Amino acid sequence: MSNIHGYTYETNATISPISLDDLDLLKQATLFSAEDEAMLRLAGDVLGDQVKEIVEVWYGFVGSHDHLLYYFSDGKGNVDADYLAKVRLRFHQWILDLCQRPYDQQWLNYQHEIGLRHTRLAKNRTDDAHAVDHIGLRYMIAFIVPITVTIRPFLAAKGHDAETVEKMYQAWFKAVTLSTVLWCAPYVTIDDF
């Protein structure tokens, strides 16, 4: 994992302003349960050797929408290919982290770092990118849908029965929503969060 540019999970110095108690309440609000944790672990096993293909689908989606690809460009239509490549590798790892890491303080802190990297506070810094300096909050939230609805075929790829695939899918949806909520924290004052 240490060979992924900008992947600082183990060395991240960012401290989330969200407490573990707040995280627990968010888990409750998203109906995230112990069964979901178990289903995410299984999903991680299922998705582990498919991360490149999954991210290709997501990049295809972004690349087919100029208003999304814009955030990887200088704002004048010039896409920073190096930036796209570096983010791609972290996206691969994010899939594994979402499924396999414990949702502890270290995970919570790294979610905050990911959120910061989408805002004017830190976008482009990690990759020395030459792209627009902010991703609109609306797209952070909206991206829950393509990240979720495109995952089902990958979850079904290893021959699990329909009920198990559905449980993995629901756990994925909850985990993606939970992560995205945490990524939104840097967009607002902590009192408004």
Q: Where are the alpha helices (DSSP H) in the chain?
A: 20-29, 34-47, 51-63, 66-69, 81-100, 105-116, 137-142, 144-149, 152-155, 162-183
Mean pLDDT of 167-177: 98
Residue 193 lies in a domain: no
Mean pLDDT of 84-88: 95
Domain that holds residue 173: 20-187
The share of the chain scoring above pLDDT 70, in percent, equals 99
Residue 13 lies in a domain: no
Express each pLDDT in 41-73 by its tens digit.
Answer: 999 999 999 999 999 999 999 999 999 999 999
Express each pLDDT in 108-132 by its tens digit.
Answer: 999 999 999 999 999 999 999 999 9
Residue 95 lies in a domain: yes
What is the pLDDT, as a whole number, of residue 68?
94
Query: Whose CA is closest to 121, among 186, 45, 168?
Result: 186
Residue 145 lies in a domain: yes
Residue 37 lies in a domain: yes
- Tally the domains of the chain: 1
Residue 14 lies in a domain: no
- With a cut of 90, say whether residue 1 has pLDDT above it: no
- Which backbone phi and psi does 87 adopt, to 5 degrees? -65, -35
What is the pLDDT, as a whole number, of residue 26?
98
- With a cut of 80, say whether residue 2 has pLDDT above it: no
- Tokens 């995410």 -> residue: 40
Residue with the larger pLDDT of the pair 184 and 77? 184
- Give the domain CATH number at 42: 1.10.490.10
Residue 38 lies in a domain: yes
Mean pLDDT of 173-190: 97
Residue 9 lies in a domain: no
